[in-house]
């Protein structure tokens, strides 16, 4: 029987790129996506696969034990790539419980299903790949990098909930021998990212001529990785990584937020035929995010040395591709911002969080 990979959160940003990579690279594999289609999940992200007989979509919540149980019975996945999550720091500041429920309880529900359905004799082949974030390691000053052995120090409800799920995943490896692997990645960018996040928010506002909100002074630093390169790294880690291990995945591409916004403004001026410097006038400094982590940076030598992976796409090229994707997909942006797929703050609070204008 063809091998089946369960991809949770496959209708989201990174998950949909992982589906693309797996279906393209593994012609014998079936892919089952489990996604609740929360505000950040969009079936349109998977429309390119709807006619593929090797692709199945299941709408459901990862916390729903009986539903997960049925899915394992019916599809018998031998590998799980777990990406379903509440993923936005700002939302976690105003609605932390949703993060505990999905990220911690949901992860435990999936781990329990693997324990129940996977025979120990198949553990050499089975994999539970847990996709996590570099934010679990806390915040860096201007110097230094996180490594796989840096002590956890999460500072937002988002990163705390991801840290909790990482600990659970490792506990299932140590306690039950479940073949789990954890990856911690830096900030992703590229097509299909929800416009609540910095890069698509800035692009969307540039396209509409709206103010570009920069938190604080814009000096906070993030390491940016092209989403397809992350998706390829995840598939590689699942196939060739060692159970019980952790792999950091990063772009070796640190930028201050202001630098990113300036680059996007220059791209917008160029692509939209405006005088250089026009778009920068839209930059609007707003009240900082509470507890805003200053800097993240990763030492990615382990994945390079053990699995031969390293990022290659130049940031300037990736940003331009991203800008052009949003420019040429206005229906996607409109759908994401409207009705059933409206942003969480509009759905729940009727406005942006208090620390924004
Ligand atoms: P996303 O918000 O775009 O997608 C999350 C997906 O999970 C959505 O499709 C959503 O509908 C689904 N989902 C949410 N709650 C669910 C639930 N209870 N049951 C089933 N499905 C549910 O997020 P993303 O940016 O694609 O991130 C994917 C994963 O990668 C997350 O685990 C995140 O922590 C991790 N990660 C993200 C980044 C980044 O820069 N975006 C970096 C490192 C790690
Ligand atoms: P974000 O995309 O939310 O990712 P994360 O907080 O997980 O790193 O934010 C990236 C950086 O951009 C972060 O330092 C916060 C900042 N930011 C702004 O300055 N303005 C905004 O409107 C948003 C959403 C983020």
Of 134, 166, 196, 254, the catalytic one is 134
Which of 22-26, 147-151, 211-215, 333-337 has the weakest average pLDDT? 333-337
Query: Is residue 339's pLDDT more than 70?
Result: no
With a Cβ cut-off of 6 Å, ligand 2 is lined by 89, 187, 197-198, 201, 213-215, 220, 222, 257, 289
- In 3D space, the residue among 299, 324, 87 whose CA is nearest the CA of residue 188 turns out to be 87
Phi, psi of 300 (to 5 degrees): -105, 25
288 tagged catalytic: no
> What's 249's DSSP letter?
E
Rounded Cα–Cα distance for residues 215 and 210 (Å): 16
Tokens at 147, concatenated? 């490594």
The length of the chain is 357
Instruction: Give the model's pLDDT for residue 337.
Output: 84
Which residue minimizes the CA distance to atom 41 of ligand 1? 188
- In 3D space, the residue among 91, 108, 215, 226 whose CA is nearest the CA of residue 159 turns out to be 91
Any atom of ligand 1 within 6 Å of the Cβ of 77? no
Query: Is residue 228's pLDDT more than 80?
Result: yes
pLDDT digits (tens, 9 = 90+) for 266-320: 999 999 999 999 999 999 999 999 999 999 999 999 999 999 999 999 999 999 9
Rounded Cα–Cα distance for residues 146 and 183 (Å): 13
Contact 61, 71 (CB under 8 A): no
Q: Is 313 exposed, middle or buried (0-12, 13-18, 19+ CB in 10 A)?
A: middle
Q: Which ligand is nearest to the CA of 13?
A: 1
Query: Is residue 341's pLDDT more than 80?
Result: no
Give the angle 16-21-23 at the CA atoms, nearest 5°. Answer: 95
135 tagged catalytic: yes
Instruction: Give the model's pLDDT for residue 1.
Output: 53
Helices 198-208 and 315-328, interaxial angle, to 10°?
50
Check: pTM over 0.95? Answer yes or no.
yes
Q: Which ligand is nearest to the CA of 197?
A: 2
Contact 28, 2 (CB under 8 A): yes
3-state secondary structure of 176: helix
User: What are the b/e assignments for 316-337, b being 16+ CB within 10 Å?
Assistant: eebbbbbbebbbeeeebbeebe
- In 3D space, the residue among 313, 167, 296 whose CA is nearest the CA of residue 230 turns out to be 313
Average pLDDT of 243-256? 98
pLDDT digits (tens, 9 = 90+) for 51-64: 999 999 999 999 99
Instruction: Give the model's pLDDT for residue 357.
Output: 41
Cα 285 to chain center, whole Å?
A: 26
Of 39, 81, 137, 158, the catalytic one is 158
């Amino acid at each position: 029987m063809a091998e089946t990979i369960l991809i949770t959160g496959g209708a989201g940003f990174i998950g949909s790129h992982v589906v693309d990579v797996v279906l393209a690279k593994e012609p014998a594999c079936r892919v089952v996506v489990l996604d609740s289609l929360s505000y950040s999940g969009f079936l349109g992200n998977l429309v390119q696969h709807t006619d593929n007989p090797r692709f199945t979509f299941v709408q459901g919540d990862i916390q729903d034990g009986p539903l997960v149980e049925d899915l394992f019975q019916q599809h018998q996945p031998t590998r799980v790539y777990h990406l379903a999550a509440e993923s936005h720091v700002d939302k976690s500041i105003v609605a932390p419980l949703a993060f505990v429920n999905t990220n911690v309880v949901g992860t435990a529900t999936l781990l329990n299903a693997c324990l129940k359905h996977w025979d120990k004799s198949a553990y050499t082949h089975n994999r539970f790949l847990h996709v996590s974030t570099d934010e679990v390691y806390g915040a860096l000053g201007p110097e230094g990098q996180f490594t796989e052995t840096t002590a956890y120090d999460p500072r937002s409800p988002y990163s705390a909930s991801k840290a909790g799920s990482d600990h659970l995943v490792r506990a299932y490896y140590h306690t039950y021998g479940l073949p789990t692997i954890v990856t911690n990645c830096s900030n992703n960018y590229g097509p299909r990212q929800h416009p609540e996040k910095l890069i698509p928010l800035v692009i969307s506002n540039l396209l509409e001529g709206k103010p570009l909100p920069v938190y604080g002074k814009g000096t906070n630093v993030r390491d940016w990785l092209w989403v397809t390169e992350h998706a390829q790294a995840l598939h590689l880690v699942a196939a060739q990584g060692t159970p019980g291990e952790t792999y950091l995945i990063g772009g070796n591409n640190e930028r201050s937020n202001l630098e990113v916004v300036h680059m996007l403004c220059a791209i917008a001026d160029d692509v939209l035929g405006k005088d250089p410097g026009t778009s920068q006038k839209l930059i609007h400094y707003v009240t900082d995010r509470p507890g805003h982590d200053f800097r993240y940076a990763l030492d990615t030598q382990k994945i390079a040395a053990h699995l031969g992976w390293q990022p290659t796409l130049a940031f300037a090229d990736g940003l331009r591709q991203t800008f052009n994707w949003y420019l040429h997909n206005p229906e996607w942006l409109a759908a994401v911002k409207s009705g059933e797929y409206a942003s969480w703050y509009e759905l729940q609070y009727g406005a942006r969080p208090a620390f924004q204008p």
